[in-house]
């Protein structure tokens, strides 16, 4: 049977980074398994085509269960089914979050995860077009660039925010996050710069790296509680490979907990109920699902907005506080783009512009569980968006703020009819109904294998899965709480930091369940 020093499951935003860093040592062999396709679809490379990728053959196209607080609607939950994972189908926004996000992680019992500790890892990956600084690096693999030709209406969005008294902030990843500005994107020479393009393409010739696509991992293999390898399905045949040191699970917030449960790691009642033998009793697997809910405010435009093929659909943004607690991270994010991004049932025709009102720290907590013991079946996803009335009220406040912004004089030359919510919806009651009717996701699921030391933690602060040896989770699922903003850059950072943690152990380290969990 074939042996590798490390097996990385999932060539997404974190997995590509880990595979790159571990194979820097020519004596270390790595097998990178990706369930999706090679990233050869032409639209992947064209930034403005990002919406066409959703629901395509490079997307898992998951749906939530009927959401009880959203009129029992099923919510579309795209995830990259391709080399590069969701970094190959996302909107390419480079957003680290707020420094307080990471200080909070450390305060929850995760030493080494404060902003001071993670900033060097953000900088390590980054090739910042504007040059190096206290907050930015330019020696990394990932291209972070300004928009090549932002739409005039996107610049008007920033001007309108400033006219309303918000700060102009050209760098949300710098000293402060509040304010309005044009986003930076993971684009290089006009093309999407996914983690596959940035971290895998330059190292494809390394003889110690093996990449297999269309390889669906069906379960982890154990001897007792020692991880000894993986089983995967490739071209209709089941294969087993052995690992010398560690398996690194980087399949994302939906599929990492799914694979743990398929392998007998999770809530014993749930796992046993599907006929899967229990390896470790870890009730937190699949719990703590967090995401950013959004509602759109959409206008028709009175003229063509001249969007560029080198642009993402989200070009500008604004972070703000709806309350006076300026010591906390901003609680609303607005993502603006020169497109019509209206809810189902609304007019989608013609030229227009949209601002997505996004809750940065919603109170909804969801879960991921197994639908069946068949690895080919999608997991059961429950988001629980808007279970808190306070979240609904905050989104209503956000809609009113956007209406105010869109009715500043700088939008006069572009502003047509309001398509959504629509001019007929003015009362708080009407806007609350619109929020529940139109609320969706901005595609940032995290937290389902959270790190920590409490009874619901799945991994320790070094990302080792409790109760087993030789197994780590390295992706957005380890976040104990969601970051303030887009989650791709934080997931890349997690891959960078994890690679150093793995190298530091030089192989396998036994990880026992701490007494707080064992008892």
**pLDDT tens digits for 80-92?**
999 999 999 999 9
For residue 385, pLDDT beyond 50: yes
The per-residue pLDDT for 5 is 97
- Does the annotation mark 3 as catalytic? no
pLDDT band at 519 (very low <50, low <70, confident <90, very high): very low
Asked if residue 299 has pLDDT above 90, the reply is yes
Q: Which residues have CB under 8 Å from 19's CB, separation 6+? A: 8, 11, 30, 32, 199, 200, 209, 211
216 in helix, strand or coil? strand
> Which pLDDT band holds residue 1 (cuts at 50, 70, 90)?
confident
pLDDT of residue 512: 47
pLDDT for residue 511 is more than 50: no
Residue 46, pLDDT > 60, answer: yes
Which H or E run includes 416? strand 415-420
**Which of 129-138, 244-253, 335-344 has the least mean pLDDT?**
335-344
Region 246-272 average pLDDT = 98
- Mean of the pLDDT values across residues 256-269? 98
75-79, 218-222, 507-511: least confident range:
507-511
* pTM attached to this predicted model: 0.96
> What's the farthest any 2 CA atoms get from each other in the chain?
69
Rounded distance, CA 159 to CA 181, Å? 9
Note whether 204 and 215 are within 8 A (CB). Answer: no
Mean pLDDT of 420-443: 97
Across 120-134, average pLDDT: 98
Predicted confidence at residue 435, as pLDDT, reads: 98
Long-range contacts made by residues 260-263, C-beta under 8 angstroms, separation at least 24?
A: 260/220, 260/285, 260/286, 260/449, 260/458, 260/465, 260/473, 261/285, 261/286, 261/369, 261/370, 262/218, 262/219, 262/370, 262/373, 262/375, 263/219, 263/220, 263/222
Binned at pLDDT 50, 70 and 90, residue 384 comes out as very high
Catalytic pick from 136, 193, 292, 444? 444
Which residue would you say has higher pLDDT here, 24 or 324? 24
362, pLDDT greater than 80: yes
Residue 251 — very low, low, confident or very high, per pLDDT cuts 50/70/90?
A: very high
Split at pLDDT 50, 70, 90, the class of 514 is very low
pLDDT at residue 513 greater than cutoff 70: no
Residue 272's H or E segment, with its range, is helix 268-273
Q: What per-residue confidence (pLDDT) applies to 518?
A: 44
By three-state DSSP, how is residue 251 classified? coil
Per-residue pLDDT, 515: 40
pLDDT of residue 88: 97
- Tell how far CA 428 is from the center of its chain: 32
**For residue 42, what pLDDT is reported?**
96
Q: What is the number of other CB atoms lying within 10 angstroms of the CB of residue 454? A: 13
pLDDT, the chain, mean? 95
List Cα–Cα distances, 370 to 87, 384, 479, 484, in angstroms: 25, 17, 21, 29
pLDDT at 348: 83
Say yes or no to pLDDT of 510 above 50: no
Q: Please report the pLDDT score of residue 326 as a whole number.
A: 66
- What pLDDT is recorded for position 309? 76
Looking at residue 306, its pLDDT comes to 74
382-412 in b/e form (b: 16+ CB < 10 A) is bbbbbbbeebbebbbbbbebbbebbebebbe
């Amino acid at each position: 049977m074939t042996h590798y020093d490390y097996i990385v499951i999932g060539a997404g935003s974190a997995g590509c980074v880990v595979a790159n860093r571990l194979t820097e040592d020519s004596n270390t062999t790595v097998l990178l398994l990706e369930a999706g396709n090679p990233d050869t679809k032409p639209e992947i490379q064209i930034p403005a085509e990002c919406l066409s990728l959703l629901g395509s053959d490079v997307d898992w196209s998951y749906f939530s269960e009927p959401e009880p607080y959203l009129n029992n609607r099923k919510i579309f939950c795209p995830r990259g089914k391709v080399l590069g994972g969701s970094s190959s189908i996302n909107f390419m926004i480079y957003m680290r979050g707020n420094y307080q996000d990471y200080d909070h992680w450390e305060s929850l019992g995760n030493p080494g995860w404060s902003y001071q500790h993670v900033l060097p890892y953000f900088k390590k990956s980054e090739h910042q077009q504007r040059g190096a600084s206290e907050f930015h690096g330019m020696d990394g693999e990932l291209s972070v660039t300004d928009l090549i030709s932002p739409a005039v209406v996107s610049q008007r969005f920033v001007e309108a925010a400033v006219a309303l008294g918000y700060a102009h902030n050209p760098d949300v990843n710098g000293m402060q996050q509040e304010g309005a500005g044009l986003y930076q994107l993971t684009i290089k020479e006009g093309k999407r710069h996914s983690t596959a393009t940035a971290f895998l393409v330059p190292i494809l010739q390394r003889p110690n790296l093996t990449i297999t696509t269309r390889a669906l991992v069906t379960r982890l293999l154990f001897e007792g509680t020692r991880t000894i390898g993986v089983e995967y399905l490739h071209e209709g045949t089941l294969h087993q490979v052995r690992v010398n040191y560690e398996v690194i699970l980087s399949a994302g917030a939906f599929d990492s907990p799914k694979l743990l449960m398929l392998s007998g790691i999770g809530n014993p009642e749930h796992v046993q109920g599907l006929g899967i033998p229990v390896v470790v009793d870890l009730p937190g697997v699949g719990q703590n699902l967090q995401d950013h809910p959004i509602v759109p405010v959409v206008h028709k435009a009175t003229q063509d907005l001249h969007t560029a093929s080198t642009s993402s659909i989200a070009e500008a943004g604004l972070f703000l506080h709806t309350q006076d607690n300026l010591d906390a991270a901003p609680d609303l994010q607005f993502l603006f783009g020169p497109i019509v991004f209206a809810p189902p049932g609304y007019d989608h025709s013609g030229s227009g512009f949209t601002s997505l009102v996004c809750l940065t720290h919603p109170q909804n907590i969801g879960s991921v569980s197994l639908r069946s013991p068949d690895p080919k079946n999608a997991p059961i996803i429950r988001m629980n968006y808007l279970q808190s009335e306070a979240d609904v009220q905050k989104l209503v406040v956000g809609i009113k703020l956007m209406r105010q912004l869109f009715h500043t004089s700088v939008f006069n030359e572009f502003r047509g009819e309001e398509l959504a919510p629509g001019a007929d919806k003015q009362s708080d009651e009407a806007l609350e109904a619109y929020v529940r009717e139109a609320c969706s996701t901005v595609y940032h699921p995290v937290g389902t294998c959270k790190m920590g030391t409490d009874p619901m933690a799945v991994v320790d602060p070094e990302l080792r899965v409790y109760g087993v040896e030789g197994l780590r989770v390295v992706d957005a699922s380890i976040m104990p709480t969601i970051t303030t903003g887009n989650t791709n850059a934080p997931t890349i950072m997690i891959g960078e930091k994890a690679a150093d943690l793995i190298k530091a152990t030089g192989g396998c380290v036994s990880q026992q369940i701490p007494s707080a969990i064992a008892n």
